[in-house]
């Protein structure tokens, strides 16, 4: 998780960048916390249990049920006996889980079962790949409000009774001498080019340059300075009401910024591709202006609030592909360092890639579209999906024996942990399923698909693949002997402390 989301720091979408920048130190802190403070707390709690202390009132000692009260000198011996009993219960529980996983492994590794599993997963991957190719971009602000909000009714009424949806971008002019007639001609030409777009059906109702020129020509002020002409122009009540908020002047009367509103009444608000085309076309027109060429900041440009989401639509697919590829490649590279053999990459990379395709396909079946919320969920899913696969792969390489033995040991020791981890992740997001907002339901559906595909591939497909083509006896016996020696020494030290 720590490394899986880190490549997304290269994302050009600010929201995703800051999410990953926040997640990186957070996960690192949790990792450090588990290695230090959490372990210390476990040790202290174990000592409390051995001393027969209460869990909340730790200063109070209790007498274990069914045990006669012993002299104070024998309290330590009783504590050891009680601790041994608890350890025995825990061992029996662990053996029960391992027995279940062993029985499951014996069935899973039968030749005909493995053939069926591979056929099912490959067929499912093909269906998901086709489903993922049908995904579209779509976002409605009603998804962020509760289902019973009046805004949904208002939006529905507007769609039913309003003849058209009009986007109203403004053409802005800045950082130029707007008293210069050549610049004014370029401003008029820029507006005309914008109006010539197929998405705009009519010119602006009022443009101050046209009205200003007409006013000057009809008045006896042609020989005066521009600032004086502008003073006279804005002294007219009609023009003052029209342009007082569209012309910004400094103390000397020079125009430093002005704008004119356009009407994009031919843009389909539900067609994402058309919205992206509009964004790109107006950008090309702005780039073609002489005053903008070679400038660090555009002197002539247009802006509309909808441009923000249109810009996201324009880059979302490419950014999603880029961050996904980087994340999977980086995690595959990490496998080279954490797994005892380089061949682990041959299992991690294709499995995680297959997981991601399946995840996208399932989300498309759930009628989830590519938007900002889904983008964040998919970015987070990279680190979570890798956890399922990498833990199982590492455990496989740590076990000894032939392929079958290694796979069975892998499922016995790590299978339960993967299953519990997936279920806990699902339960953590389960309350979102009852949310009245579509946006939270999207998050729930994303995590549900993530857990189902992650558990399925790590506990079903991956064991089948490893038991068929996985390496054998990759961990030297000397390593295991030294590990066993360390374990024996550690147990002896704990016994001495007790």
- Find residue 301's DSSP bridge partners: 172
Rounded to an integer, the average pLDDT of 414-441 is: 85
Residue 292: predicted pLDDT = 93
Out of 53-57, 139-143, 424-428, 448-452, pick the least confident.
Answer: 139-143
SS (H, E, C) 332-344: HHHHHHHCCCHHH
CB atoms within 10 A of CB 3: 18
CA distance 63 to 412: 36
- Whether 448 shows a pLDDT value over 50: the answer reads yes
- Whether 479 shows a pLDDT value over 50: the answer reads no
CA distance 450 to 440: 15
Q: Where residue 303 falls among pLDDT bands split at 50, 70, 90?
A: very high
The two tokens of residue 127 are: 């269906």
Rounded to an integer, the average pLDDT of 205-222 is: 90
The backbone torsions φ and ψ at residue 170, rounded to the nearest 5 degrees and listed phi first, read -115, 140
**Chain CA centroid to CA 328, Å:** 14
Q: Where residue 300 falls among pLDDT bands split at 50, 70, 90?
A: very high
The two tokens of residue 264 are: 């994009």
66: left (phi over 0), alpha (psi -120 to 50) or beta: left
pLDDT in tens, 35-67: 899 889 888 888 888 888 877 777 777 776 655
Q: What is the architecture, at CATH level 2, of domain 6-11+108-138+312-497?
A: Up-down Bundle (1.20)
**Cα–Cα distances in Å, from 145 out to 35, 142, 246, 437?**
41, 5, 34, 6
Residue 88: predicted pLDDT = 65
Rounded to an integer, the average pLDDT of 469-495 is: 49
Out of 77-81, 190-194, 250-254, pick the least confident.
Answer: 77-81
pLDDT in tens, 137-186: 877 766 667 777 777 777 777 767 765 667 899 999 999 999 999 999 99
Q: Where residue 486 falls among pLDDT bands split at 50, 70, 90?
A: very low
Residue 126: predicted pLDDT = 94
Residue 93: predicted pLDDT = 67
- Whether 475 shows a pLDDT value over 50: the answer reads no
- Whether 496 shows a pLDDT value over 50: the answer reads no
Rounded to an integer, the average pLDDT of 250-255 is: 90
pLDDT in tens, 365-404: 988 888 777 887 887 787 788 888 888 998 998 888 899 9
Residue 422: predicted pLDDT = 87
Q: Where residue 482 falls among pLDDT bands split at 50, 70, 90?
A: very low
Every domain of the chain and the residues it spans: 6-11+108-138+312-497, 166-304
**Angle, helix 345-365 to helix 438-456, in steps of 10 degrees:** 140
% residues pLDDT > 70 (the chain): 84
Q: Where residue 247 falls among pLDDT bands split at 50, 70, 90?
A: very high
The two tokens of residue 179 are: 């008293």
- Whether 71 shows a pLDDT value over 80: the answer reads no
DSSP 8-state secondary structure symbol assigned to residue 247? E
Rounded to the nearest 10°, the torsion over CA 365, 368, 374, 377 is -40
Residue 490: predicted pLDDT = 37
Rounded to an integer, the average pLDDT of 118-129 is: 94
CA distance 440 to 118: 34
CA distance 353 to 86: 43
pLDDT in tens, 333-374: 877 777 778 888 889 889 988 998 999 999 999 888 887 778
Residue 455: predicted pLDDT = 92
Q: Where residue 494 falls among pLDDT bands split at 50, 70, 90?
A: very low
CA distance 493 to 498: 9
Residue 60: predicted pLDDT = 76
Out of 79-88, 139-148, 323-332, pick the least confident.
Answer: 79-88
CA distance 451 to 108: 20
Using alpha carbons, select from 391, 426, 396, 425 the residue that is nearest to residue 410: 396
């Amino acid at each position: 998780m720590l490394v899986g989301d880190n490549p997304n720091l290269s994302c050009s979408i600010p929201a995703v960048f800051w999410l990953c920048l926040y997640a990186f130190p957070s996960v690192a802190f949790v990792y450090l916390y588990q290695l230090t403070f959490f372990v210390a707390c476990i040790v202290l709690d174990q000592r409390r249990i051995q001393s027969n202390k209460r869990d909340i009132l730790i200063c109070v000692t209790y007498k274990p049920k069914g045990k006669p009260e012993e002299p104070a000198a024998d309290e330590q011996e009783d504590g050891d006996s009680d601790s041994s009993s608890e350890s025995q219960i825990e061992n029996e529980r662990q053996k029960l889980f391992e027995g279940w996983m062993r029985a499951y492994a014996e069935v899973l590794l039968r030749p005909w079962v493995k053939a069926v599993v591979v056929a099912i997963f490959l067929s499912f991957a093909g269906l998901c790949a086709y489903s993922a190719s049908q995904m579209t971009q779509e976002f409605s602000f009603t998804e962020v409000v509760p289902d019973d909000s009046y805004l949904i009714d208002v939006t529905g009424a507007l769609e039913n009774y309003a003849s058209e949806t009009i986007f109203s971008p403004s053409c802005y002019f800045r950082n130029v001498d707007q008293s210069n007639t050549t610049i004014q001609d370029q401003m008029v030409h820029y507006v005309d080019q914008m109006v010539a777009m197929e998405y705009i059906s009519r010119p602006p109702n009022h443009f101050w340059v046209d009205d200003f020129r007409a006013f000057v020509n009809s008045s006896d002020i042609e020989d005066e300075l521009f600032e004086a002409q502008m003073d006279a122009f804005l002294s007219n009540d009609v023009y003052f009401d029209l342009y007082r908020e569209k012309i910004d002047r400094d103390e000397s009367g020079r125009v430093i910024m002005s704008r004119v509103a356009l009407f994009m009444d031919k843009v389909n608000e539900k067609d994402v591709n058309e919205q992206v085309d509009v964004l790109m076309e107006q950008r090309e027109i702005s780039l073609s202006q002489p005053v903008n060429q070679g400038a660090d900041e555009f002197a002539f440009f247009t802006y509309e609030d909808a441009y923000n989401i249109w810009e996201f639509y324009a880059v979302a697919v490419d950014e999603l592909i880029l961050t996904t590829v980087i994340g999977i490649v980086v995690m595959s590279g990490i496998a080279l360092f954490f797994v005892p053999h380089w061949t682990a990459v041959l299992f991690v990379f294709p499995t995680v890639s297959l997981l991601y395709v399946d995840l996208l396909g399932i989300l498309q079946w759930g009628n989830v579209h590519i938007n900002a919320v889904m983008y964040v969920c998919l970015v987070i899913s990279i680190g979570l999906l890798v956890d399922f696969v990498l833990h199982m792969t590492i455990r496989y390489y740590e076990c000894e024996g032939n392929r079958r033995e290694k796979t069975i040991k892998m499922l016995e020791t790590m299978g339960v942990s993967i299953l519990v981890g997936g279920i806990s992740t699902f339960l953590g997001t389960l309350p979102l399923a009852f949310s009245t907002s579509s946006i939270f339901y999207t998050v729930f559906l994303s995590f549900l698909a993530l857990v189902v595909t992650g558990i399925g591939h790590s506990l079903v497909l991956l064991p089948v693949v490893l038991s068929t083509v996985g390496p054998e006896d990759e961990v030297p016996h000397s390593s295991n002997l030294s590990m066993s020696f360390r374990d024996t020494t550690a147990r002896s030290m704990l016994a001495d402390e007790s």
